[in-house]
Structure 1
Amino acid sequence: MKRLAYLQQQNPHWREEADLTRYFVDAAHASIAPAVCSTPLLAWIAYGEASLWRMLCWMGLFWLVEWRLILVIRQCRQHDTHPLSVYQYYPAVRDCLLASSLLWGGCIWFMAPVQPDPAYQMLLLLWVAGIFALLCIMMAACRDIHVLFFAAFWAFPVFSLLNGGKRLELLALLGVSIYLLSQWRFVRGFQQTLFDTVQLKHANQNMMDKLVEMHVQATMQRVSLEENRQALQMAVAEGERLLECDALTGCFNQRALRRQLDKYAADSIASGSSWSLSILDLDHFKQVNDTFGHQAGDAVLEQLVQKVSQLLPDGLQMFRYGGEEFVVLAPAMQEAELAACLDGIRQQLAVSRWEALPASWQQTISAGVVACQPGEQVNHCLQQADLALYAAKHRGRNRICLASDLVDVPLKRFSHSS
């Protein structure tokens, strides 16, 4: 870690340099097979012209260097998990390639003809120049070995031409010098191009990482906003439910009743069909409060809501109208159907056990049922149901009375607690 921190401090572009080093190692690995295969071809060209023992000596040294290069590159690839590993094996790879370059340049001496042959020497020189061009491409990524590479490759060819060359060889030397200058300029420019390409790749990668991070953050924020929206929606729904719920019994209150009455009235006008509602009341509820206390009365109201809610068919709703009076809405039932349904519930309640009351106490209910016609005012429907309830009380309680069965309005009105 200390070495990495030092590397970051000394070279701010160490990541780009590491990528170029990897490129150099990959290129060196790719060059092994062509180099090993080309040496027999070069020996075939030199066969009959050069000394056999020199050729065998050169090929042995060259293959030994290439074998060493294979081992170093294999180790480098096995441990290439961190940029520092790249720098750890880079010197060994570089040394092998410099040794290989020295052998390529020295092949002019190893493959030198036994008898002077200018045409063969020029062919050998062109071969070396071609190999040099390929190695320049391969080594362009690492600028710190350019001078060593040029010197190692061309040291012996230039020395050989200067020392024993004639006019043709000197002209070739002049061409080689011009060629070296052009290659030098190409290698320097190509290395910078590679560096800029790698730097652009890192910049693009950093941008993609930031975009991915922004996308992840935006997704998390969107999920959080959606969760907050759902929580707020649930809180609003819960608030509306609490506003429309009776605090004691838990059933819907008068606020919810008014909203549902208006809705069913509008639906009735749209469909042209009638619907029904009922007002039910606990019989002798005042005696419950006076005899057993208001807490017992509250418990009876809670149990009433629980029992009736369990017995009501699906689609029917129960609302607390006030005191011990409750309203049941049946948007899909006729008057007689609702009356029959409530009469069954009435019979079950008459034989039910009430926890807050003695076992011998029989708690009954009375109810009035009315059919609501399309366009009829809901207040008028409630008034008719209330009159039917009074009629049920007048006729002895513990019964269901239909508003359509009323001939005249009862002269005597009973209190709601009676």
Structure 2
Amino acid sequence: MRRWLGARPFPWESPQPQLEAELVRQFVSMLNISILQSFVAIPLFGLLMYRHAPGWRILFWSSLFLLMELLFARLAHRFRLQARRQEQVFAHYLGLRRLMLCSAMVWSMMMWFMFPEQEGAYRIVVVLWLAGGFAAVCLLMAPCRDLHLTFFIGYWAYPLYRFYSEGGVLYSALLAGAVIFILVQWEFLSSFNPLLRDTVRLREQNAVVLRRLQSVHAESEGKRELLEQRRNMLRQAVEQLHALAESDVLTGCLNQRALRSRMAALDQDAEAVWSLAMLDLDDFKSINDRFGHLVGDQVLQQSAQHIAACLQPEMILARYGGEEFVVLAPGLAPERLAETMERVRLVLAEAGLDGLPAGLAQTVSIGVAGRPEEGGSQQALLRADAALYSAKQQGRNRVRVWREDRQA
């Protein structure tokens, strides 16, 4: 029978069920809008036809139509709540489809229930309402092409018969106009449905492309974060290598190469004020000879820790070589640095270092020099060394500042 009518296949029989399911969802969405409009339009139409058709017919047809709209609302509500998967969409669509075909019969019953008995303008109003309702429903049914032919027949079978049976020039013209209108609407649906399908297909393709772009973006973000992590790891490794390259392995303070780099930087600023101190552990060779080099290394490590604890944050401590250390003090005059070195001397003299017998202190002799007018940091090192030599000659365990008159 469906083949004889030339009806389209059901959506679930389509080779593209996912596309058909999306079209059904659009149909239900448009149906929800039409339901609200019908509850306003149908009572208004009944009022317009009042006294031009029997009241019971107007009331019956309006009530029947509104009851049908309530059923539509109920089925559409269940569709929104339950139609999640594709098979659920088609299962709920069956009920909506049957009710839509029934609505075609209700529309056509307008010609019997609400057509005025007498000739007049209101008969034309009914015809216009019938045509307007058909045009609106055609838009509503555009996504569901399996309904088109059966709805057309159900909607217009009785009205066309009525136009034909009324006879006369007017109704013959209405019959011809209705046929032309139906053909135009059929042509409209035949062209609009493929356009709607292409729109849905394009939207799905866009959604797929968007998901792919989002996936690529997420992947690129992940790679960017991984690259940033590796860059940070590399930077940390470089910093660690740089720190190791500048650090003295035994004591952990700067080595001589790093010290000279800092001093060269200070030499670049002709206006900078700085001073430096050279420290030498007293009689350190005897510590190695009496207690061994392991104890000597412990004494060096602990001495460096005590010295660093006495320094201000901006001061730089470096191991110059053997048991000698250098303290570089940017922004500090030699007299102020000498005060700090005196605290260093006292701390070491009073500290009990691990590995040494009780009562045996490791003292230090210190020479201090300021920035010279000529010669830069290298000249300052020579002056501090001269002041240190003076401290050694005067009995060790003391601080001496180099003077311009060369008297320590």
Q: TM-score, normalised by structure 2?
A: 0.89
Within the candidate set 102, 110, 114, 1:111 is matched to: 114
Return 5+ residue gaps in structure 2 as ranges: 1-10
2:73 aligned residue: 70
Deviation at 1:290, TM superposition (A): 0.9
Contact 1:105 1:154 in 2 (8 A): yes
Within the candidate set 147, 151, 162, 1:160 is matched to: 162
Deviation at 1:289, TM superposition (A): 0.8
State how 1:257-272 maps to structure 2 within 5 Å: 257-267=259-269, 269=270, 271=271
- The residue matched to 1:367 in structure 2 has which SS? strand
Deviation at 1:123, TM superposition (A): 3.9
Equivalent position amino acid for 1:171 in 2: A
Deviation at 1:304, TM superposition (A): 0.3
1:219 aligned residue: 221
CA distance in structure 2 between the aligned counterparts of 1:367 and 1:227, rounded to whole angstroms = 47
2:240 aligned residue: 238
Within the candidate set 96, 100, 104, 1:97 is matched to: 100
Task: Say if 1:278 and 1:160 are closer, same or farther in 2 by CA, change over 3 A.
Answer: same
CA distance in structure 1 between the aligned counterparts of 2:336 and 2:121, rounded to whole angstroms = 121
Contact 1:58 1:107 in 2 (8 A): yes
Aligned length: 398
1:4 aligned residue: none
State how 1:5-404 maps to structure 2 within 5 Å: 11-12=15-16, 14=18, 16-114=19-117, 117=119, 121-163=123-165, 165-267=167-269, 269=270, 271=271, 273-404=272-403
1:161-199 Cα shifts (integer Å, max 9, x gaps): 334534432232111111111110112222222222222
CA distance in structure 1 between the aligned counterparts of 2:295 and 2:405, rounded to whole angstroms = 35
- The residue matched to 1:366 in structure 2 has which SS? strand
1:14-51 Cα shifts (integer Å, max 9, x gaps): 2x433322221122222224334444444445555545
Deviation at 1:354, TM superposition (A): 0.8
Task: Say if 1:230 and 1:37 are closer, same or farther in 2 by CA, change over 3 A.
Answer: closer
Equivalent position amino acid for 1:70 in 2: A
Deviation at 1:211, TM superposition (A): 2.9
- The residue matched to 1:360 in structure 2 has which SS? coil
Identity %: 37
CA distance in structure 2 between the aligned counterparts of 1:112 and 1:275, rounded to whole angstroms = 112
Equivalent position amino acid for 1:209 in 2: R
- The residue matched to 2:403 in structure 1 has which SS? helix
- The residue matched to 1:404 in structure 2 has which SS? coil
Contact 1:66 1:96 in 2 (8 A): no
Task: Say if 1:157 and 1:366 are closer, same or farther in 2 by CA, change over 3 A.
Answer: same
1:330-378 Cα shifts (integer Å, max 9, x gaps): 1222222222221221122111111110112121111111222244243
Which stretches of structure 1, 4 residues or more, deviate above 6 A after TM superposition? none
Q: Output the aligned Cα RMSD.
A: 2.5
Equivalent position amino acid for 1:59 in 2: S
CA distance in structure 2 between the aligned counterparts of 1:328 and 1:250, rounded to whole angstroms = 14
Task: Say if 1:316 and 1:118 are closer, same or farther in 2 by CA, change over 3 A.
Answer: closer
Q: TM-score, normalised by structure 1?
A: 0.87
2:7 aligned residue: none
